[in-house]
């Protein structure tokens, strides 16, 4: 007798698409409680070409060593599925992403996906993001909390939700973009877009990286598509958000706007 058939939540991608070289770049700082679960969810996806690159800033809780153990667990001779980029000091999420994305492209990724290590971003949405990129030719696909169908964790109170919405509207308005989730951190990039953005010159050390990257992509003429996601509260561990990175996020949209106006020879609006 054959095993009962459980329908998949979503149809798989065509086999050829599932082999696309896609690297998930995951910055970590003290994510020992979360990393193994994240890796397991990613490695179980029906995406043959998927790799994980952990970018660890010498986490005191031993996340870097856990990442090495995961590499040992999932890598096979001739097939690297998990890589680790060790950096010496905590240098901000933006810097970790820029280094990891550059490494991923140098190692041959056609697409790079940014993803937090804390369980906030839904791994099961990755095939859809990749499918949208491949089907439409879009070079940037945003996993979006703020398009219809997108949502925020119910664990977030009214104030936190309002602050997140406000921060998003703030950056979008100053920069005059129509991206609904410009602050979001679950985004897929083509290697071509990353090359055009020139990661080495990205200014943001912290969370404003998300805004700066999308703005640079738009300015370079790339289309940004948005796919709805549900954003969960972090599963375990502590937030790394602090006043310095929040201030950078307040100032950065103005800086980007001024710089862009100067480059095009116009006075800032
Ligand atoms: N390598 C590296 N990773 C970082 C740094 N700061 C944050 N991260 C990672 O970036 C991701 C997002 O950071 P979070 O602290 O979750 O920030 P957040 O999502 O805005 O805040 P909460 O989810 O509320 O905790 C996580 O995977 C962090 O471990 C850093 O300086 N270096
Ligand atoms: Mg988080």
86 lines ligand 1 (CB under 6 A): no
Q: Which atom of ligand 1 is nearest to the CA of 237?
A: 25
- Count of domains forming the chain: 1
Q: Is the CB of 89 under 6 A from ligand 1?
A: no
Nearest CA to ligand 1 atom 6: 93
Torsion sign, CA atoms 238, 239, 240, 241 = negative
Pocket test for ligand 1, best of 29, 59, 242 (most atoms within 8 A of CB): 29
Here the CATH number for the domain that contains residue 99 is: 3.90.550.10
Residue 181 near ligand 1, beta carbon < 6 Å: no
For ligand 1, say whether the CB of 239 is within 6 Å of any of its atoms: yes
Q: At residue 239, does pLDDT exceed 80?
A: no
Is the confidence at residue 229, as pLDDT, over 80?
yes
Q: Where residue 2 falls among pLDDT bands split at 50, 70, 90? A: very low
* Mean pLDDT lowest among 35-44, 188-197, 211-220, 228-237: 228-237
CA of 54 to the centre of ligand 2 (A): 15
When the pLDDT of each residue in the chain is averaged and rounded to a whole number, the result is 91
Q: Rounded to an integer, what distance in angstroms lies between the CA atom of residue 47 and that of residue 202?
A: 30
What is the pLDDT averaged over residues 19-31? 98
- Is 152 inside a domain boundary? yes
- The rounded Å distance from CA 146 to ligand 2 centre is 17
Does residue 116 have its Cβ closer than 6 Å to ligand 1? yes
The model's pLDDT over 172-227, given as tens digits with 9 standing for 90+, comes to: 998 899 999 999 999 999 999 999 999 999 988 888 999 999 999 999 999 999 99
pLDDT surpasses 90 at 11 = no
Ligand nearest to the CA of 208: 1
On whether residue 25 sits in a domain, the answer given is: yes
- Residue 120 CA, closest ligand 1 atom number: 23
Q: How many CB atoms lie within 10 A of CB 175?
A: 21
CA–centroid distance, residue 16 to ligand 1 (Å)? 33
What is the residue range of 244's domain?
A: 15-263
More confident residue, 88 or 254: 88
Specify if 122 maps to a domain: yes
pLDDT digits 0-9 by tens, 100-149:
999 999 999 999 999 999 999 999 999 999 999 999 999 999 999 999 99
Query: What are the tokens at 44?
Result: 């179980």
């Amino acid at each position: 007798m054959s095993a009962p058939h459980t329908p998949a939540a979503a149809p798989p991608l065509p086999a050829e698409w599932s082999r696309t070289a896609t690297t998930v770049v995951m910055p970590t700082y003290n994510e020992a409680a979360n990393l193994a679960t994240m890796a397991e969810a990613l490695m179980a996806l029906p995406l043959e070409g998927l790799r994980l690159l952990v970018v660890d800033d010498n986490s005191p809780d031993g996340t870097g060593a856990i990442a090495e153990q995961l590499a040992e667990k999932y890598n096979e001779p001739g097939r690297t599925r998990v890589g680790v980029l060790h950096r010496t000091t905590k240098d901000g999420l933006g810097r970790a992403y820029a280094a990891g994305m550059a490494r991923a492209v140098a190692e041959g990724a056609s697409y790079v996906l940014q993803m937090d290590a804390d369980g906030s971003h839904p791994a099961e949405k990755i095939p859809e993001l990749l499918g949208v990129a491949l089907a439409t030719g879009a070079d940037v696909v945003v996993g979006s909390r703020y398009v219809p169908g997108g949502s925020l964790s119910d664990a977030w109170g009214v104030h936190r939700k309002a602050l997140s919405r406000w921060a998003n509207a703030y950056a979008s308005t100053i920069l005059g973009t129509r991206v609904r989730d410009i602050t979001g951190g679950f985004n897929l990039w083509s290697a071509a877009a990353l090359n055009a953005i020139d990661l080495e010159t990205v200014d943001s050390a912290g969370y404003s990286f998300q805004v700066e990257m999308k703005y640079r992509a738009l300015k370079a003429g790339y289309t940004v598509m948005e796919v709805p996601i549900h954003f969960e509260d972090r599963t375990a561990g502590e937030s790394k958000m602090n006043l310095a990175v929040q201030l950078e996020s307040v100032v950065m949209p103005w800086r980007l706007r001024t710089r862009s106006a100067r480059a095009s020879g116009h006075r800032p609006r």
